[in-house]
């Protein structure tokens, strides 16, 4: 890739969920999106939520993010 | 589904249009999206617009929404 | 198309990149999206960025936009 | 109207109020605006509020919206 | 109440849920909040979501809103 | 005015400017708008800016606000 | 209080109203909230509105704010 | 005009449309607004959209903007 | 809980603070809120801040979040 | 300065703090910024916060603002 | 530069002004910022405004943008 | 520092990048900013992005943040 050359990217919105933490939820979403999309280039976090189970324990992190890839 | 298990959702942005009202426009978009996407789980309204016809009559409601479904 | 008839649109987020300017970056994204999507109806600019090369020269414009098309 | 021809629209911000529901509040605002403005083309909902009366009963819906019309 | 007199209001964020529609979800939240709060004065819609069940059917509307009441 | 009765309001965006302070800038805008609009009901501050003169002295406050009035 | 020690704060949304000005409306809300909440630590202004009476006179300022206090 | 002197501006929201590009759409809206409003002072772009015609060709740019003028 | 049944949730805004990291700050806020509120269902992160101590060391993370629970 | 001539401004974000009120906090920030920056032209308020001391007394106003100056 | 290596960027907010158009205003700001900052890497448009002169003619474009550069 | 005493802070926008995670990216930015700025007091996260390398692996986290310090 060289700057200045015409090209087009697409962004897709996914939600990664993991009990291990925010970074792991992002990685999970990236792994899954990689299966059906072309090679991913970057992500942007859009929001962070999570579920709270018994006793107030955070039992999963839900990270809303956009992943981008080049349309070749 | 059990909380705490890794999983990934995808969100897609659609616009449902109906002359019957806001709820009907949402249902219309859900019906149509269901045809080409996997089983939908939820929606989020992003905006409400509409067209105004002769005599100031609102002749359709346009509801921008995101629908989400699990990437299995 | 007639107002008042139920129909559904989908919006997809793309980034057009061009060294020639903002309008050209939009046109580039529209051209590329048209190849894989159904007939596009309109676009909405979501953001404008760009790369700065040697000597402070803006060597490309990156326009984030959404393109919409009817789901027939 | 043909796309590609230069033209100008104006947007005006109104609040429609009705006890009958959200759609009726939009229609009420459109009717009233139509009296003093040129032929309206579309509306965009900017916010939804309402008044709560005795016993927690919602006794009116207040819909903030913008209505648009062409400046001929 | 007279304008110009010092007074204080409090706002509380609730989510009303109903299968019957958006207005009903608002009314449901107002009814429930009225039980434990002082007399409610108004509401402001913060967001509209919902669940989609089998066959794409919207089976409930979830309306995020703030309800306000005077602190006497 | 009684809650529950259909009625319509209009909002107009004005900027009040005063060297005396923020409240005075709001009052100035209200006074001027009152001359050409119908009886004003309320205002909403949209932004606060100002000019800085010699020696860093704030020599005027510019308050962007919306004023609302009933369309009778 | 020492930085680095785990602790939790709560924020509550109130609206202070005063005919005397914006700072007085903030103080009024703080005074009233202090009666029923624990010791307040800070406030954040969320919005400024007001009522306009006869002759365009601003007869009260309504300041929406959040007040925060430590949950001990 | 001198800074520090009380004065009031009004802002009006218009949409300029042109097939020639974004700057031309802004100029078109300014020209048209100038016909019915007092002397315009400045504009603020609120959004950029456009229509896409056959073959993905952008056939018009729609620029939402606010124009401001002094209320003398 | 079954979708489609009327029910109401409440959201409360808290700030969790921890020197151990973002996830720990969320968990700390959830633990503390659980003591005085009903059983929590989920959280939404509203902002992330922190304090910087000597030598530029981040000595605590402050996570603003909303926690939600059902009003039974 | 004449409109239409190329020139460049820079904006810097500062927080002015004063116990005397919002306008005084703005003036304080302008005074301090003027010491190390070039001649300031205008400010834009980005947020208003404050500290609450014993008895609910607001003991300082914190105004987040941007100040702008020309890069000559 | 290689992805994955720790590094830090700084963003600075500037306003470029040009009578020739939006792209030229961006280039003007980049040129001027390049004189006093380290080598610039990219820009992000934050807003577009402009001045309107006699007869409604747009006589300059003012583009608010952020420019970023690596802190080596 | 005592509340109620006039003082001024400045905020600067930086981007910290680390392959180790979000907290490490924040710490990296704080360390680097500390070298050229006065003693930092706090940070505010403005956004979280990252790069995705081969196989969908997140190979760096990019955290946009503002760091604040007192102007003495």
Can you spell out the DSSP letters for E7-72?
EEEEEEEEEEEESS-HHHHHHHHHHHHHHHSS-EEEEEEEEEEEEE-GGG-EEEEEEEEEEEEEE-
- Taking phi over 0 as left and psi of -120 to 50 as alpha, with beta for the rest, D11 belongs to beta
Averaged pLDDT for residues A17-32: 97
Averaged pLDDT for residues C38-67: 96
Residue of L nearest to A26 (CA): L58
* Residue J4 CB burial class (10 angstroms; 0-12, 13-18, ≥19): middle
- Asked if the model's pLDDT at residue J1 lies above 80, the reply is no
pLDDT score recorded for residue B5: 84
Residue of H nearest to C31 (CA): H56
The encoded tokens of residue A16 equal 């990664």
Question: CA nearest F71: which of D39, D23, D34?
Answer: D34
* C20 touches K at CB < 8 Å: no
> Is the alpha carbon torsion for F39, F43, F49, F53 positive or negative?
positive
* Residue G2 CB burial class (10 angstroms; 0-12, 13-18, ≥19): exposed
Chain C positions touching H56 (Cβ under 8 A) are 30-31, 33-34, 40
pLDDT score recorded for residue K43: 98
- If residue I11 lies in a helix (H) or strand (E), which one and from where to where? strand I7-18
Evaluate whether G69 touches G37 at the Cβ level (below 8 Å). Answer: yes
Which residue among F5, F8, F13 sits closest to D15, beta carbon to beta carbon?
F8
3-state helix, strand, coil in chain G (%, to 5): 25, 55, 20
Q: How many residues does chain L have?
A: 72
What's the DSSP call for residue K52? E
> Is the alpha carbon torsion for K1, K3, K4, K7 positive or negative?
positive
Evaluate whether L12 touches L49 at the Cβ level (below 8 Å). Answer: no
Q: What is the DSSP string of chain J?
A: --TTS-EEEEEEEEEEEESS-HHHHHHHHHHHHHHHSS-EEEEEEEEEEEEE-GGG-EEEEEEEEEEEEE--
Whether L and E touch, i.e. at least 3 CB pairs below 8 A, reads as no
Evaluate whether D25 touches D12 at the Cβ level (below 8 Å). Answer: no
What's the DSSP call for residue L20? S
- Asked if the model's pLDDT at residue G55 lies above 70, the reply is yes
CATH architecture of I11-71: 2-Layer Sandwich (3.30)
More confident residue, D34 or F38: D34
Give E34-52 pLDDT, tens digit per residue.
Answer: 998 879 999 999 999 999 9
Averaged pLDDT for residues G12-37: 96
- Asked if the model's pLDDT at residue K38 lies above 90, the reply is no
CB A41: neighbour CB atoms within 10 A? 15
* I31 touches A at CB < 8 Å: yes
pLDDT band, residue E1 (cuts 50/70/90): low
**Fold entry, domain D12-71:** Dodecin subunit-like (3.30.1660)
The chains found to touch F (3+ Cβ pairs under 8 angstroms) are D, G, H, J
What's the DSSP call for residue C4? T
More confident residue, H33 or I2: H33
- Asked if the model's pLDDT at residue C5 lies above 70, the reply is yes
Give J31-61 pLDDT, tens digit per residue.
Answer: 999 998 879 999 999 999 999 999 999 999 9
- Asked if the model's pLDDT at residue G39 lies above 90, the reply is yes
SS3 of residue H9 by DSSP? strand
Chain C positions touching A5 (Cβ under 8 A) are 17, 19, 60
Chain B nearest C-alpha distance from E22 (Å): 7
Q: Cα separations (Å) of K39 from K10, K35, L63? A: 11, 9, 21
Is H56 in Cβ contact with C30 (below 8 Å)?
yes
Least confident of A36-45, G39-48, I13-22: A36-45
Chain E positions touching B31 (Cβ under 8 A) are 56
- Kindly give the parts of chain F with pLDDT less than 50: none
Averaged pLDDT for residues I3-23: 94
Q: What is the DSSP string of C15-63?
A: EEEESS-HHHHHHHHHHHHHHHSS-EEEEEEEEEEEEE-GGG-EEEEEE
pLDDT score recorded for residue G26: 98
Chain L nearest C-alpha distance from K34 (Å): 18
* C61 touches H at CB < 8 Å: no
- Asked if the model's pLDDT at residue H4 lies above 90, the reply is no
Chain I positions touching L45 (Cβ under 8 A) are 47-49
Evaluate whether G16 touches G34 at the Cβ level (below 8 Å). Answer: no
Chain I nearest C-alpha distance from E29 (Å): 6
- Asked if the model's pLDDT at residue A2 lies above 90, the reply is no
pLDDT score recorded for residue F58: 97
| G45-51 contact pairs (CB < 8 A, 24+) | G45/J47, G45/J48, G45/J49, G46/G13, G47/F44, G47/F45, G48/F44, G48/F45, G48/G22, G49/F42, G49/F43, G49/F44, G49/F45, G50/F26, G50/F42, G50/F43, G51/E3, G51/E4, G51/F41, G51/F42
- Asked if the model's pLDDT at residue D13 lies above 80, the reply is yes
**Cα–Cα distance for residue pair F51/F58, rounded to 1 Å:** 6
pLDDT band, residue K1 (cuts 50/70/90): low
3-state secondary structure chain F: CCCCCCEEEEEEEEEEEECCCHHHHHHHHHHHHHHHCCCEEEEEEEEEEEEECHHHCEEEEEEEEEEEEEEC
Is H58 in Cβ contact with C23 (below 8 Å)?
yes
Chain E positions touching I66 (Cβ under 8 A) are 13
* L9 touches J at CB < 8 Å: yes
| φ/ψ of residue C12, rounded to 5 | -125, 140
pLDDT score recorded for residue J3: 82
Averaged pLDDT for residues D46-61: 97
Whether D and F touch, i.e. at least 3 CB pairs below 8 A, reads as yes
Which residue among A8, A12, A13 sits closest to C29, beta carbon to beta carbon?
A8
The string over E34-49, giving b where at least 16 C-beta atoms fall within 10 Å of a residue's C-beta and e elsewhere, is beeeeebebbbbeebb
Relative to beta strand K7-18, strand C7-18 is unpaired
Percent share of chain J, pLDDT over 90: 86
Whether D and E touch, i.e. at least 3 CB pairs below 8 A, reads as yes
Is K45 in Cβ contact with C52 (below 8 Å)?
no
**Cα–Cα distance for residue pair I46/G11, rounded to 1 Å:** 12
Chain C positions touching K45 (Cβ under 8 A) are 47-49
Which residue among F5, F6, F10 sits closest to D14, beta carbon to beta carbon?
F10
What's the DSSP call for residue E4? T
- Kindly give the parts of chain L with pLDDT less than 50: none
CATH number of the J10-70 domain: 3.30.1660.10
| φ/ψ of residue D16, rounded to 5 | -100, 140
**Cα–Cα distance for residue pair A62/A50, rounded to 1 Å:** 5
pLDDT score recorded for residue F28: 96
Evaluate whether G56 touches F38 at the Cβ level (below 8 Å). Answer: no
| Residues of chain D numbered 40-59 and touching chain B (CB < 8 Å) | 40-45
How many beta-carbon pairs below 8 A join chains A and I?
38
Evaluate whether D64 touches D9 at the Cβ level (below 8 Å). Answer: no
CATH number of the A9-70 domain: 3.30.1660.10
pLDDT band, residue D54 (cuts 50/70/90): very high
Chain L positions touching I48 (Cβ under 8 A) are 44-45
pLDDT band, residue J68 (cuts 50/70/90): very high
| Alpha helices (runs of H) in I1-72, residue ranges in sequence order | 22-36
CATH number of the E8-71 domain: 3.30.1660.10
The encoded tokens of residue F54 equal 């010699």
Percent share of chain A, pLDDT over 70: 99
CATH architecture of H9-71: 2-Layer Sandwich (3.30)
pLDDT score recorded for residue K4: 77
Q: Quick check: ipTM above 0.90?
A: yes
The encoded tokens of residue J14 equal 């500062």
Give the CB-side neighbour count of residue F66, counting CA atoms within 13 A. 18
**Cα–Cα distance for residue pair A29/A26, rounded to 1 Å:** 5
Is H17 in Cβ contact with D6 (below 8 Å)?
yes
pLDDT score recorded for residue B6: 87
pLDDT score recorded for residue L4: 77
**Cα–Cα distance for residue pair E43/G40, rounded to 1 Å:** 26
Is C23 in Cβ contact with H22 (below 8 Å)?
yes
Query: What is the rounded average pLDDT for all residues in chain G?
Result: 94
Give H7-63 pLDDT, tens digit per residue.
Answer: 999 999 999 999 999 999 999 999 999 998 879 999 999 999 999 999 999 999 999
What is the radius of gyration, based on Cα positions, of chain K? 15
Torsion angle in degrees (nearest 10) through CA of L32, L37, L42, L43:
-50
Mutate to test the interface with D, among F1, F2, F4, F72 (most CBs of D within 10 A): F4
**Cα–Cα distance for residue pair L47/I54, rounded to 1 Å:** 25
- Asked if the model's pLDDT at residue B4 lies above 80, the reply is no
pLDDT score recorded for residue L1: 62
Whether K and F touch, i.e. at least 3 CB pairs below 8 A, reads as no
- If residue B21 lies in a helix (H) or strand (E), which one and from where to where? none
Evaluate whether A18 touches A48 at the Cβ level (below 8 Å). Answer: no
pLDDT band, residue K12 (cuts 50/70/90): very high
What's the DSSP call for residue G3? T
* Residue E16 CB burial class (10 angstroms; 0-12, 13-18, ≥19): buried
The chains found to touch B (3+ Cβ pairs under 8 angstroms) are A, C, D, E
Is E32 in Cβ contact with I3 (below 8 Å)?
no
Relative to beta strand A7-18, strand B7-18 is antiparallel
Is A28 in Cβ contact with B9 (below 8 Å)?
no
Whether F and I touch, i.e. at least 3 CB pairs below 8 A, reads as no
* H2 touches F at CB < 8 Å: no
Chain E positions touching I4 (Cβ under 8 A) are 19, 51, 53, 59-60
Which residue among L4, L10, L68 sits closest to J12, beta carbon to beta carbon?
L10
Q: What class has domain F8-65?
A: alpha beta
pLDDT score recorded for residue A3: 82
Q: Cα separations (Å) of K35 from D36, K46, K65? A: 54, 21, 16
Is K22 in Cβ contact with C58 (below 8 Å)?
no
Domain boundaries of chain E, sorted by first residue: 8-71
- Asked if the model's pLDDT at residue A44 lies above 70, the reply is yes
């Amino acid at each position: 890739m060289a700057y200045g050359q015409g090209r087009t990217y697409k962004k897709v919105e996914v939600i990664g969920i993991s009990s291990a933490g925010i970074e792991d939820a992002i990685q999970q979403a990236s792994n899954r999106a990689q299966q059906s999309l072309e090679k991913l280039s970057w992500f942007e976090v859009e929001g962070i939520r999570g579920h709270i189970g018994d006793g107030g324990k955070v039992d999963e992190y839900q990270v809303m993010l956009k992943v981008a890839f080049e349309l070749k």
